[in-house]
Amino acid sequence: MFELDPPDLRSSELWADAEFTERVAVACPLDLVLFNATQDAWGAHVGVCVGDDQILHLCAEVGHPVVWSWQEFAERKRYRTVVGIKRVVRRVDECPQP
C-alpha cells in the first residue's frame, strides 16, 4: 500500500543509516521518530508518526500498540528527549530481486 521498504535495524543503526532513510526536521505521516531519556540513539524507542500530533508505538506500559501525542512522550522520563526523525526513502520497487 505505502510501498516503503523500512530497514530492519536497531535504533542506533537506524539513526546512523543514510541508505534507506534520511533525517528530517519535521515529522510527516509514516516518518520514524526516535525517543530516549537522552540524545543517545542507542536503545532509543521508535514510533511511527501517523498524523498531526500522533505517534503510534508499541507501549510497554500498557502492553499493546497505542497512539500518543508528542506531549505524552515528553511527560515520561524514558521518552522525554526526541533523538530525531527519520524518513524512509527506499521504496519496495527499488529492492534487489532474488
Catalogue all structural domains in the chain, each as residue range(s) with its CATH number.
11-91 (3.90.1720.10)
Strand 32-36 to 81-88 pairing: antiparallel
What integer pLDDT is reported at residue 94 of this predicted model?
60
> Mean of the per-residue pLDDT values for the chain?
92
- Cβ(41)–Cβ(31) under 8 Å? no
What integer pLDDT is reported at residue 80 of this predicted model?
97
In tens, the pLDDT along 70-89 reads 999 999 999 999 999 999 99
Q: State the cell numbers at 32.
A: 520514524
